[in-house]
Copies of this chain bind each other. A is one copy, B any other.
Amino acid sequence: MVGINEVAKAAGVSISTVSYALSGKRPVTEETRRRVQETVERLGYTPNARARALAGKQTRILALTEPLHEYTHAPTHMTFVLAASVAARRLGYDILLLTDEDAAPGMSRVALSGLVDGILVLDVAPDDVRADLARSLDLPTVFIGVPESSEGLVCVDLDFVAAGALAVDAFAEAGHRTIGLLGHAADAYEVSNFPPRVRDGFLTRAQERGLEAHFEPLSGDGSLALQVVHALDALLARGVTAIALHNGEDEHEVVLEAVARRGLTVPGDVSLISVGASFDTARLPVPMDAVPLVAQRSCDLAVELATDSATRPGVRLIAPELVDHGSIAQAPVADG
């Protein structure tokens, strides 16, 4: 292992000059800088991360806590992990995985031992134990998602209320007057935290704009396909001409199949939009408009907040955006 001493000797400067030439934290003559740079390359010098961490007081590692449950949706989850990793690397950080089922011990361990510079919290539950822990830890911690009690925490999330509202707007502007929201399993609206936010944003905005809006969660029994079809039929029976989907990729596909099986076309007979999905709705059998949950946006912001010493507590809601893939058409002219 070639060290900074050898580089300094070979370049004919002091080790502090080598350090500063590489970090740029102190002005260095262009000539000196070039000589150091060249020597570094010639000798194949790579600064030792351990020494750097001890002396410089930062490891440039962020912990990512993601307690994996059996009901964790793997693809979605992986999207976020990947996005976090990309975002971190972009700012020169690496990601340390914390996958313990009960996250607290791992978090404390890496925090107290000074192994990481910050913590990213994934899969946030409303009553997440990591909330209290984060408040006690004295280490930059960013929640990707919002727990029930978020005071004093740094949280990043899609503005799900606005996302639900945006879907309504899209329908309303296309002239739809009777619209539906096909949601997650009914339990999710009690246990989880964003499904109700989408629902409320949807229903509230619909009321504001004078639309007739119907909400159907998935009923808890039968196969997924059956549940979805059941909810879909309930909405269609009420005369909706446009449906927003807030659930998973499988549910989206079942809806498209069921719609086709009923001889309906998208968007000719029924308009569709996906809300809060983190997969690519353009790749569905029928490309679907969406107000997506973009993992990369959440993670970019999260990493930035976690690595910026000026970060203050607070919830940062990411403004939703509409992505058009042609699954919304003008509503048929109503004769009512």
A binding-site residues for B, Cβ under 8 Å? 1, 44, 46-54, 59, 61, 64, 68, 74-75, 77-78, 81-82, 85-86, 89, 94-100, 106, 109-110, 112-115
**How many copies of this chain sit in the oligomeric assembly?**
2
Q: With both chains docked as a complex, state the minimum distance between the C-beta of A83 and any C-beta of chain B, in angstroms.
A: 10
Q: How far is the CA of A132 from the CA of B15 in the complex (A)?
A: 33
B113 pairs with A49, CB closer than 8 A: yes
Known contacts A82-B99, A97-B85: A50-B46 contact under CB 8 Å? no
For A95, the closest partner residue in chain B by CB is B97
- Cβ of A90 to closest chain B Cβ, rounded Å: 11
A114 contact set on B, CB distance < 8 A: 1, 48-50
Which partner residue on chain B sits nearest A52 by CB separation? B113
Interchain nearest-CB distance for A261 vs B (Å): 16
Task: Give CA–CA (A112, B46) in the complex, Å.
Answer: 6
Assess the A59–B68 pair: CB atoms within 8 A.
Answer: no
Q: What residues of chain B lie closer than 8 Å to A1, measured between beta carbons?
A: 114
A113 is contacted by which of B46, B75, B99, B115 (Cβ under 8 Å)? B46
Add 19 more A-B contacts to A94-B96, A94-B110, A96-B96 (CB < 8 A): A46-B109, A46-B112, A46-B113, A47-B113, A50-B50, A50-B53, A50-B54, A50-B59, A50-B114, A50-B115, A51-B54, A52-B113, A53-B53, A89-B106, A94-B98, A95-B96, A95-B99, A96-B97, A97-B97
| Selected contact of A68 from candidates B47, B77, B82, CB within 8 Å | B82
Q: How far is the CB of A30 from chain B (nearest CB, A)?
A: 27
Closest chain-B Cβ to A280's Cβ sits at a distance in Å of 10
CB distance from A2 to the nearest CB of B (A): 10
Provide the residues of chain B in CB contact with A50, threshold 8 Å: 50, 53-54, 59, 114-115
Tell me which of A50, A51, A96 has the highest count of chain B C-beta atoms within 10 A of its own C-beta.
Answer: A50
